[in-house]
Each structure stands twice: as structure tokens, then as C-alpha cells.
Structure 1
């Protein structure tokens, strides 16, 4: 049984508090979004199913919700089976690698590509926007660096990290031309301007360039997150067979 330190005691509370912060931020922004739809003067702007689906289609929202769920599971695991464990279960370690990568990339993309994009101030809840794009990404970065009971995972985990962003990009580009944009009435809707071929220089070719760049960033950050976990785990790194056995514990507390 591993000796418990102050970080072992504190960190589950940090994780569960982050979950609560994400829930509050997402709900606050969703309420604002629905409120604007309810007072909209046009049919497309007030179509709640489309408005809510669009809201849930943002990578930022999805990655924050995923992070909140995984952090909550990690916290409850630490308070339960994790009290006597030397390292987190393999499945939980993979999930943490994924959400950490997505949130760090969310912070990078927002602050490099989207920070200066002008928006109607009534669209966003300022504090929620900062929580989802800055505060939580920073917390997940710190989690990678200091969270206790870190388990090393195989380098192949980087490939697992890439699955969801690819699926999200495909979903977004296929869906976009069939959705009327609530804010403008355009016969298409893209969650981010760098994915909109009507705005990006070069059209779909330009969009492909942005997607390639973000894909490289995701793989690169995923590689660094896995590397950090392997470095921090040291002798606690599980051999392949043991790692496979730990999959049974993934989400069981």
C-alpha cells in the first residue's frame, strides 16, 4: 500500500471541485443560449432543438463535459479503492490522458485562434467562457504534472486520444451544410470560424489546413501528456499484461 501524502488527500477535492465548476459554467452558458432563443424574432433563431444541439456540438462543451465526468470518477476512485492503490487503474489513466489532452488543446486553440474573434456580448457568459477555455485547461495541465497515483500508459494511447477529435471533425463537417445558423439565417452552421469554408481563405482546402494543424497539436500534446505520465510513474508503470488486467477496474470506483 502506498504511503498517503498531502497531495493524495487534497487532489480528489480539486478534481471534484473542478467537476462542479464545469457543470456550473456549462449550465450558465446553456441557460443564456436558451434565453436568447426564446426571445428570438426569427424562426431559425428560436428553434430550440437546433439551438441546443448546436450548443452541445462545440468541441469546448463536449471536452469540458468529458473532463468533468472523468475527474469525478477519478475523485471517487481515490476515495474508494484508490486509498490502498499504488497507481490509478489503466482504463482511468487512458481516460485522463484523453481529457487532459482535449482540454489543453482547447485552451491553446481558443487563446491563439479565437480569443480575438468579436462576439455579441449577450451571446456568452464572460466568467463561464473563461472557466471553460482557460481555467479548466490550466487545471488539467496541473493535473498531468502533480496528480498522485499516476500510472504510465503505452505510447499507443496517443492513437486513442486522436479518435474522438477525428470523429468530431467528421460529424461537424457532415452536419454543417444541413443546419440553418440561428444567429444569421445562413443555410449552414459551423461551430468555429476556422472550420467555415465560407470564411476561411481557400475554402475547404483552407479548412483542411486548420484541421491538419489542430490534429498535429492534439497528437503532439497527447504525446507530451503520455510522456509526463510515464516519467512521473517511474517504477509504478504496469507491464502490458498487468495493464490489460487493470481494465476491469476502469470505472468501478
Structure 2
């Protein structure tokens, strides 16, 4: 029963991401200034697609009854961090901002609210993972840094988020926003790594919440 729950929830979340992204893509294609690579240049789109892949892979390993390879555990932790960042940044900085005429509200909610929430809960509750070493924390920061540098250097009028608009805000303000978000990602990465030491629910349905059973991963 618990094994089936792990599989169904992960596959359902991955499917929700795909449906939401496709729906928003179809709507955005109607915009006169639509550019395919700009659409997939958003951190929201990329991070949601990345975590959808980890959901599918995670469900696959549960279905096979095998142990997840450590690279997948690290990927799950990293993408959970990115989705938590997406949810917090959107709801604090972007939710009350201007909305495109081509925005799909329900898709927007799935990608910015529900999947980030599920990603965090999935990491906290689903215990089919090994402990992540503290030395891996730097790996969590690689993708966000590459995305940020590539976005800022690209220019050409593509500003995915208002807080990255150098022309309007100036480099000083943009860098402050970037530093604040980077600090949040680093802190969230540390929390995710720390949480990897705990088990709550296993695919086998074993009681892992008692300290005399598993409790903390060694």
C-alpha cells in the first residue's frame, strides 16, 4: 500500500508538471513576441521539469524495489531546494506583480505553489533516500549560479523576472536581490541535507518514526 502511494503521488506530480508546462506553452505561443528559448529560460519552468524527472525516476526505483543511487538522492534534494526557492520567491516578490494576458492561472498555481509544496513535503516525508554528505552542499548551488550568470549575460531584452531588470533597478539593487536569493538557496540546501538524515515514511510501510527503529540515518 505504501509502495503504491509513493509511486502514484510521484507520477501524479510529474504529470501535473507536464500538463501545466504544456498548457502555458500553448497559451504563450499566441503572444506576438513569443520566443521558444525564452519560454524555457525561466527558472520556474526548468526547475519544475527537473523535479518531474526525479519524481519519475524515484517512482521507478520504488516500483523495482531497488535502492536509489546516490546521484538520484542528491538530485532529488537539489531540485526540492530549487522548487522551495521558486515557491518562496514567487509568493514574496512576484505574486502581486503584473500578469501577462497569456498567463494560465491554474498552470501558474501548479508550478509556483502546489508542486513546490509537494516537493518540500515529499523530501521531508518520503524516506527512500540515503544521507547526503555536507560536502555536497556546493553542488546544490551550481545550477542556480549557472542559470543566473547565463541570464544576466544573455541580455537581448530577455528579463525573466522583474528583480533581474538591470536597466530599471541598476546593478546594485539586482545584485542585492541575487545575494538574498543565493543566501536563501544556501540555507535551504543545508536544511535539505540535514533532513536527509531522518526517515519518516518508507515505501515498505515500516514505522520509521520511532527512535528505536531507524529515526536518523547514519
C-alpha RMSD of the superposition: 1.4
Structure 2 spans left out of the alignment, 5+ residues: 200-213
TM-score, length-scaled by structure 2: 0.89
Task: Identify the residue that residue 17 of structure 2 maps to in structure 1.
Answer: 22
1:118-197 superposed matches below 5 A: 118-120=98-100, 122-176=101-155, 179=156, 188-197=157-166
Q: CA deviation at 1:150?
A: 2.4
Select the residue among 91, 99, 114 that pairs with 1:111: 91
CA contact (8 A) 2:198 2:216 kept: no
Q: Distance in 2 between matches of 1:110 and 1:235?
A: 33
Name the count of aligned residue pairs: 204
Kept after mapping to 2: 8 A contact 1:7/1:148: no
Match of 2:177 among 193, 210, 216: 210
Provide runs of 4+ in structure 1 moved above 6 Å: none
Alpha-carbon offset, residue 27 of structure 1:
0.3
Structure 2 counterpart SS, 1:119: coil
TM-score normalised per structure 1: 0.77
Q: Which has the larger radius of gyration?
A: 1
Equivalent residue in structure 2 for 1:53, among 37, 51, 57: 37
1:82-129 Cα shifts (integer Å, max 9, x gaps): 2xx4xx321111010111000011000000010110123x22100000
